[in-house]
Amino acid sequence: MQNYVVMGVSGCGKSSVGTAVAHALGGQFIDGDDLHPPQNIAKMAQGQPLTDADRAPWLEQIGQTLCMQQDVTVIACSALKRRYRDIIRRAAGQQVTFLHLSGTRQVIESRMAARTDHFMPLSLLDSQFAALQQPSQDERAITVDIDQPFDVVVAQILTQING
């Protein structure tokens, strides 16, 4: 059994891509935003970036949730820094592949501006890009450029997973 974390800055398409990948793999999708403690959501909704102390219990919860699954599971989680991904891997207690949805600030900004149903304000985008550390060669990760049609993004991920 394999678990995946769809990662990237807010607005890159983690939920929609994660749902499609999970469906194609016959697994389940979990939105990591649903695992945030209420105080984190309130803080972000007020335009305040989370601190590492705010994130730590959430990242542990992401990993523990992966650990408890019996089937292929895809969780959306920003996982912007290497140490965040390390927390998730450690808490999961098993192999995790990160699916990095990579895009330019301009692409992400246009997507975020079009959203009306999300707690993350556009004002936090710069802090997301400042925090982003690309996955290293020694991490199990697949990186895909999101500046292409949705179906192509999903197909490229599936090709690399099944490759």
Q: What is the pLDDT of residues 64-98, one digit of tens each?
A: 999 999 899 999 999 999 999 999 999 998 899 99
Length of the chain: 163
Contact present, 139 and 51 (Cβ < 8 Å): no
Is 0.85 surpassed by the pTM of this model? yes
Query: Which of the four CATH numbers 3.40.50.300, 3.90.1150.10, 3.40.50.1100, 3.30.1120.10 does domain 27-162 have?
Result: 3.40.50.300
Q: What is the pLDDT of residues 22-81, one digit of tens each?
A: 999 999 999 998 999 999 988 888 878 788 999 999 999 999 999 999 899 999 999 999
The CB-based long-range contact list for 53-58 (8 Å cut-off, 24+ gap) reads 55/84, 56/87, 58/32
Q: What is the pLDDT of residues 135-160, one digit of tens each?
A: 999 999 999 999 999 999 999 999 99
